[in-house]
Chains A and B, each alone.
Chain A
Amino acid sequence: MMSFYDSHLVLFQATFTGLILALSIQVPLRMGVFSFAGAGSYGIGAYLAAILVIKQDASAFVAIGAAMLATAVIGLLLGLLIFKLNGLYLAMATVAFDLIIGVIAINGGKTTGGSTGLYGVITDFTMSQLFTITLIALVLVALSEVGRTGRRVDAVRDDPELASSMGISLRRYRLTAFVVSGALGGLAGSMNVLVRSAIGPLDIGFGLIVLGLTMIVVGGSRSWKGAVIGAVIFTWLPDVLTAIGAWQELVYGIVVALAAVFLPRGIYGVLVDLNKGLQRRSRERHDPPPAAAEEAAGDVDPTTGDVRELALNEEAVP
């Protein structure tokens, strides 16, 4: 008998690297920076790690570290160029960046292995290392969602102008978004190539953007929990669907569409809304109705407490 874990090892690995890739898009998105540069960084990270391992015999950690450093720096440079762009214009610029990375990979000759890509990237990188690194990255991202940083990120996204008048440097936050996104992308790419041992131009195309975006939107784009949910679903769903056979793609499409339609803020959003609903309910039970506060503001006669009674009394004007 084979164990479930062994036979699905690739999927476990893909869940972790997919999660990091999703986070590389989620982090900037949460700051209102519509950047898909994470996908390009993924490519850079993957190729760089592969080259280091193959040509320099680098160890797994050196390869990952170097890939992250390089993609963070590239993220910063890219950010300096385009952080002034907004919305989908920014998205377009980063898509262009990603596509250019892909083309460079094809045309890189020996260095990138052309359309074949690089293979035989074999190190002693283990599953538990993969897991640990992913966990650390996840915790760091999660910390950026709570407390002061979390609020400030919300402010930068929802109202940049308000944010800057509240002492938040937009430039700094947006550049950070690019750097973090780059580093996460590089991390995802380098870890992926280390577990998969091969990378080619087709692995770093437009599909990565779609996959990452689908993960976070369906999972819930406002929280790392959404990214986790999304990464799990969209890594395992195709495997589950193989059972259906010929029409699995069709079902996949239907699942994505249904999720987009019926889960307005992702699966995690649904959980949050449920929670908000509960809060509201308990609020109504325990707290004094806020209308009372307003009533006070409306200056109701303190003796009777109700305007209506006064009205009925037809109280004369002094």
Chain B
Amino acid sequence: MLEIKDLHVHYGNIEAVRGVSLDVEPGKVTLVLGANGAGKSSTLKAVAGLERPVQGSVHLNGDDITRLAPHKLVRRGVVLVPEGRRVFSPLTVAENLRLGGYTAPKEAYDETLARVYEMFPILADRGNGAAGLLSGGEQQMLAFGRALMSQPKVMLMDEPSMGLAPVVVDSILAKVRQMADSGIGILMVEQNADAGLDVADQVVAIARGEVVYSGVAGDARSHASVLRAFLGEAALAEQ
């Protein structure tokens, strides 16, 4: 279980995250919602070790992992799918996937790879092509597939569905659910709140770096403020 307590992230004198606390439980999907600039990505980056939080703590199964270097966190099973894809452009698609599995145990490697290819056949087709030449959505698939390769225990995902066609969003979110069901803890930032809520267990809404709502996913849908803030007026009308 990943526990984030009173996390603060500052960039110079910009306070991007101001005391965020939330839990990620194995087998559960925690969905983070929030407007542009609310501090979602900053929270995830701080957990993954890419930004140093100025205050607060992160615990993994009771161990303090605050401010641990990113590569050490990966070895403990905490993996981040970063915002904006960040594939290794000049390397081939296959090499990107191999890097995803850099720390993973070798036994399950081939099996995982096969599953990734099954999920995104285009990645198999383009295995020897440079990752940077893929289309935006294909790169997003690669980023997701790459994270799967590491066989994580806790997965942090920053907008995994960005730029993906609706069918693919469905399959990715289904996969997320499936992973959660297999015991992985998932912390997911997702702007496509509507689809995200379908697979989430917990919902946390962040505004201006603070948690403004947190509750069970089912309740969130029936909560007017959340609806209005993150699903738009249309969602209210629909109800």
Contact = CB atoms under 8 A, between A and B. Distances in A.
A185 to B, nearest CB: 34
B225 A315 contact: yes
A295 B13 contact: no
A306 interface: yes
Contacts of A281: 13
Given A294-B36, A317-B239, A284 B223 contact: no
Interface in A261-318: 277, 280-281, 284, 290-291, 294-295, 297-301, 306-308, 310-311, 315-318
A297 B34 CA distance: 11
Contact of B35 (A297, A315, A316, A317): A297
Contacts of B232: 299
A294 B210 CA distance: 14
Interface string B197-239: 0000000010110101100000000111111111011001001
B37 A307 contact: no
B12 interface: yes
Nearest to B230: A298
Interface in A99-136: none
Interface residues of A, number: 22
Interface residues of B, number: 27
A291 B224 contact: no
A301 B36 CA distance: 17
A280 B12 contact: yes
A297 B225 contact: no
Nearest to A314: B223
Contacts of A300: 207, 229
B36 A299 contact: no
A286 to B, nearest CB: 14
B36 A297 contact: yes
Contacts of A317: 222-224, 227, 236, 239
Contacts of A301: 225, 228
Contacts of A298: 34-36, 38, 207, 229-230
Given A291-B208, A308-B212, A299 B229 contact: yes
A307 B239 contact: no
B38 A306 contact: no
A225 B205 CA distance: 47
A311 B225 contact: yes
8 contacts: A291-B37, A298-B36, A298-B38, A298-B229, A298-B230, A310-B224, A311-B226, A317-B236
Interface of B: 12-14, 34-38, 205, 207-208, 210, 212-213, 222-230, 232-233, 236, 239
Interface of A: 277, 280-281, 284, 290-291, 294-295, 297-301, 306-308, 310-311, 315-318
Closest 7 CB pairs of A and B: A298-B35, A310-B225, A308-B212, A311-B213, A307-B212, A294-B37, A291-B208
